[in-house]
Amino acid sequence: MAEAKGVLVLGEIAGAELSSSSLELLAAARKLSASLGEEVAIALLGDTLDVPAKTAISHGADQVYAVNHPQLRQYHPDLFLAALETLCREASPRIILMSRSNQGRELGPRLAFRLGVGLAQDSLEIALDPATKKLMANRPVYGGNAVAVVSCNATPQMAAIRPKAYEPLAADAARQGKITSFPVDLKPEAARSRVVSVVKEEAKGVKLEEARVVVSGGRGLGGPEPFKNLDALAKLLGGAVGASRAAVDSGWIPASHQVGLTGKSITPDLYITVAISGASQHMAGCSGAKVIVAINKDAEANIFKEARYGVVGDWQKVLTGFTEAVRELTQG
C-alpha cells in the first residue's frame, strides 16, 4: 500500500440514511484528525448514496468514497468485505474506525485479518499517544469489571467503537467535501453464502438506543407480565423499555431490549432500573446514563452504588405509586 495517511470511517446505511453510529464515528475521527493534521474520509457501500454522502460531509467528513454497486444494495458479509478490502488497500488510511454494530462485529475481524493487522474491539474511547501518534483504545475486560488500554502498532490501525460512546457533531450544511465514486469489481464467487430471507422486527415507539428515558426490569420482576407496568411508565415519560440479560434469558422480553455488555449500550438522560441488581455486565451498557434511579428490595444491591437516587422496597408498590405520580404530573 501507499504511504498511510488520514482516518477512514467505515460507514453504514440505515434505510436510505447514514446510520447514527456512523455520525458518532465521524465525531471520533475528527478528534483524531485534529491531532494528526490529516483528513477524515468515510466509505459508503450501496447503490444509492447521494443523500448519506452529503450527510457525512455535513457531519465532519472531508472525503466520501461512494462504492456504488448493484450487488451492494443489500448487506452481504462476503461482498462488503471484498469491497472494503479493495478500498482500504487503495486509499491506504493510517487509521480505520468502524462501529461495534452487528455489521461491524462481522466485518471488523475479517477485514483486519485480510489487512494483516489487529483490531481494538469494543472501544469505549480512542485517542492518540502524544509521543508516538499511535492509536490508543480503552476497552472493557473481565466482564466489564476493568478497562484496559490497548495500543495499535501495525498500520492501518483499526478500532471498533461501541455505539453511543461519542456524541455526533452538529450538522453544518456549509461544510465542503469531496465525493469520489469508487468502482469495485465484485466476482460472483466472492459470495460464498447467500441471503435466503430478511426478517425485520416490527419496531414500536422510541428506539432503545436513542431514548432519552429508559425504564429497565430485571430478574426480580419474576416474570413477563410486570414488563407491561414498565411499558406504561416508559410511555408516560416518552421513553423505551430495557431489560437485564437475566430477564432476556428467561424469555420474558425479546433480546432487542437487553442492556449491557452483551446487549445494547445506552446513554439516556434518565435511566430507571426496577429489580435489577446492577452486575458489572449490565452497568457496562448504561454507564453513559446521566442519571440512574434504582428500585430494589435489597439494600445491599450493587445498583445503589451506581445510582444517583435509590428506593429500597417492594418494586410493585414503589412503581405503582411512582407511575401514578408521573401520570398526574404529565396529564393533570
pLDDT of 1 reads 55
Burial of 232 per CB tally in 10 Å (0-12, 13-18, 19+): middle
Top-tier CATH class for 208-331 = alpha beta
- pLDDT at site 198: 79
Per-residue pLDDT, 332: 65
Helix ranges restricted to H, 272-314: 280-283, 303-306
pLDDT in tens, the chain (332 residues): 568 899 999 999 988 899 999 999 999 999 999 999 999 999 999 988 999 999 999 999 999 999 999 889 889 999 999 999 999 999 999 999 999 998 999 999 999 999 999 999 989 899 999 889 899 999 988 877 788 999 998 999 999 998 888 999 999 999 999 999 999 998 878 888 888 887 777 767 788 988 999 999 999 999 999 999 999 999 999 999 999 999 999 999 999 999 998 888 898 999 999 999 999 889 988 988 999 999 999 999 999 999 999 999 999 999 999 999 999 988 86
For residue 320, how far is the Cα from the chain centroid? 33
> Which residue in the block uniquely carries the three cell numbers 469494543?
122
Query: In angstroms, rounded to a whole number, what is the distance separating the alpha carbons of residues 284 and 258?
Result: 12
| Contact assessment for residue 6 and residue 94, using Cβ atoms and an 8 Å cutoff | yes
Report the relative pairing of strands 135-141 and 125-128 from DSSP bridges: antiparallel
Does domain 7-190 match CATH 3.40.50.620? yes
Q: What is the pTM of this model?
A: 0.84
Q: Report the alpha-carbon angle 111-117-121, nearest 5.
A: 70
End-to-end CA, the chain: 66
CA-CA-CA-CA torsion sign (185, 100, 40, 157)? negative
The Cα–Cα gap between 1 and 221 comes to 56
Which ranges in the chain are annotated with CATH 3.40.50.1220?
A: 208-331
How many Cα atoms within 13 Å fall on the side-chain side of residue 98? 29
List, in sequence order, every beta strand (DSSP E) within the chain.
7-10, 13-14, 17-18, 40-46, 63-68, 95-99, 119-123, 125-128, 135-141, 146-152, 157-161, 178-181, 213-217, 240-243, 270-274, 291-296, 309-312
Contacts of 251 (CB under 8 A, 6+ apart): 224
Question: Which residue is associated with the grid cell 485480510?
Answer: 114
